[in-house]
Amino acid sequence: MIQGRAQGHKVARRNRSAAKGKVGDWAGRMVNILVRKWRLKMLQSVLLIAGLAIGYRIVDLQLLDRQFLQNEGDKRSVRYESVAAHRGVIFDRNGDPLAVSTPVMTIWADPEVLYQASDRWQVLARELGVTHRWLSDRVQVGKSRDFIYLKRQLTPEQGARVMALRVPGVGAINEHRRYYPAAEVTAHLVGFTNIDESGQEGLELAYNEWLSGEPGQRRVLKDRKGQLARQAELMKSASPGKELMLSIDLRLQYMAYRELKKAVEQHKAKAGSLIMLDVRTGEVLAMVNQPAYNPNNRADMQAHKMRNRVVTDMVEPGSTLKPFAVAAALESGEFHTDSVINTAPGYLRLGRDQVKDNRNYGAIDVTTVLRKSSNVGVSKMALAIGPDKVLDLLQRVGLGQSTGTGFPGENPGYLPYRDRWSDIEIATLSFGYGLTVTPLQLAQAYTVLGSGGMMRPVSLIKRDVVPEGVRVMDQQVADDLRIMLREVVHGGTGGRAMIDAFEVGGKTGTARKVGPNGYIKDRYIGMFAGLAPIDNPRFAMVVIIDDPSGKNYYGGLIAAPVFSRVAAGALRMLGVEPDELGNPGGDRRMAFIPWALDERSVSPPLKEG
């Protein structure tokens, strides 16, 4: 019985366990069902939210924020290209163009795209004017880049023919190229630009910011190969550069260039310079140099040809400085125009040094000192007044300082200052040794004599208003000096500077060239500085012939004739009335007086013993 009861308990327990198992299975099934439903709902909710978000974004992009998709599309098809700005034109004072910009086309390529079109290289190379090998090497080397130039600055016609080939990966840019109508005649003054139209020399460099324009921008549509589909719109117009009107007269410039070149070739000189300044305004009317270069063809450009010697090269002025030493003596009050200086016996011994004249002129007045270019006479005057008064006047007329033109590379020259001066240093200073000037500085100093003692700043730009100027020299002294300079031409070393129907005045000068070891034997610089017409000067001019190789080297022989020819043409071009008491017959007899030609103010005193 006990066993039966125990057996019953076991059965009951099994039944309860089975019942519990059934309940557990049912509960598990219910839980699984609930979990699945929850997951389904969750998934449905997520999908619904995602769908709503996507739908909202679609509506937002298509209706509310359309610019985003537009920008993304533009990034793949719209390109912004620069529109070249027209560089400002440079004119002479009469409106003749000296530098203009002409339209050109530059051909470029996407090397990766062009590489795939190798079968078109032959025809492309022929149209570009290059060899097939050059084009192949160009593409191969630049294959890793996104952009290479194939040919720059083609004419619009040439560029159009290249683009008509429709070679994949090849495009064009519209640019401008600088052209100089007067070529080498104005090259040293105007200068030139590089291939990107940025000023490199001369006034192109000095006024680069003024002349440069501001590039514009346009939007274009391109296909997937980068080819132009169509132009969309101009985003920003290009602003052209400002115009520049120079002070030079192109007619005078041509004439001065022709005469200077002829003289340099005739005397087999290394170089030459000529500068003409308007006495009344300080404007540069002509500025030329030799040798010259053509800025339109730069295949054979050399540094020594590109230098504007009028403003960059320094020379010892020699006897052309004597009028200012005489002016200092007259201003001091210790000398007058009729003062007599004894130059006998034709030389002046200063310690171990000696100052010489061509011959013994004896007792002569101040005018004759200049007319015969007496080293002894001007040295005695300078020694009498002292170096400070000479230096003061030289500084007042602009020597030893920049003229302020702003021309790149302008040289200020050298004016010596010492605590103690020896007699020989004072003497050599008086006739133009021991200091250096540029031709432009010397011309400016002569304008002071021409304007009655007034100094006006030099200008390379045409002036609308004439500056008043500053008085730097006594007017009577300046007037006296002009009379003396006329005598130099009429009866002195400047005889070959005379011209028909006009009275002119000036001073010759011949200086030894300086080398690494001092003055060089038998190498000279011939100069002439003068005013025309002398009674009422219209312009001052300086002519320099550097290192002539012929037998003639004196300034009166090689530089004065250039002054005569250029001044004669300039006075007629400028409409200056002839002098009533001028030189109507063109009598040049003084040009053939031996002592007038044999100017011996050519070298500093030689050291003796």
- The catalytic site residues sit at 319
As given in the structure block, the two tokens for residue 36 are 């699945």
Residue 318: exposed, middle, or buried by beta-carbon count in 10 A (0-12, 13-18, 19+)? Answer: buried
Q: What's the rounded Cα separation, in Å, for the pair 191 and 102?
A: 17
Q: What's the rounded Cα separation, in Å, for the pair 600 and 603?
A: 8
Collapsing DSSP to helix, strand or coil, 207 comes out as coil
Question: Which of 397, 400, 408, 410 lies closest to 311 in space, CA to CA?
Answer: 410
Residue with tokens 């040919």: 151
Collapsing DSSP to helix, strand or coil, 454 comes out as strand
Q: Is the peptide bond before 578 cis (omega within 30 degrees of 0)?
A: no
Question: Which of 367, 358, 574 lies closest to 486 in space, CA to CA?
Answer: 367
Q: What's the rounded Cα separation, in Å, for the pair 200 and 178?
A: 12
Q: What's the rounded Cα separation, in Å, for the pair 503 and 542?
A: 17
Strand partners, 375: none
DSSP 485: H
Q: What angle do CA 424, 425, 426 make, to 5 degrees?
A: 90
Q: What's the rounded Cα separation, in Å, for the pair 113 and 110?
A: 6
Contacts of residue 148, defined as CB under 8 A and 6 or more positions apart, other chains included, come to 108, 109, 111, 138, 139, 142
Residue with tokens 């011996």: 600
As given in the structure block, the two tokens for residue 65 are 């924020």
Collapsing DSSP to helix, strand or coil, 288 comes out as strand
| Phi, psi for residue 304 in degrees, rounded to 5 | -70, -20
Q: Are 561 and 602 contacting, i.e. CB atoms less than 8 angstroms apart?
A: no
Residue 443: exposed, middle, or buried by beta-carbon count in 10 A (0-12, 13-18, 19+)? Answer: buried
C-alpha dist (Å) from residue 245 to 180, 250, 462: 15, 12, 6
Counted residue by residue, the chain has a size of 609
Q: What's the rounded Cα separation, in Å, for the pair 448 and 275?
A: 15
Beta strand 97-109 with 90-91: parallel, antiparallel or unpaired? antiparallel
Collapsing DSSP to helix, strand or coil, 152 comes out as strand
Question: Which of 540, 576, 544 lies closest to 560 in space, CA to CA?
Answer: 544
Q: Are 304 and 370 contacting, i.e. CB atoms less than 8 angstroms apart?
A: no
Q: What's the rounded Cα separation, in Å, for the pair 408 and 387?
A: 32
Collapsing DSSP to helix, strand or coil, 371 comes out as helix
As given in the structure block, the two tokens for residue 106 are 């530059």
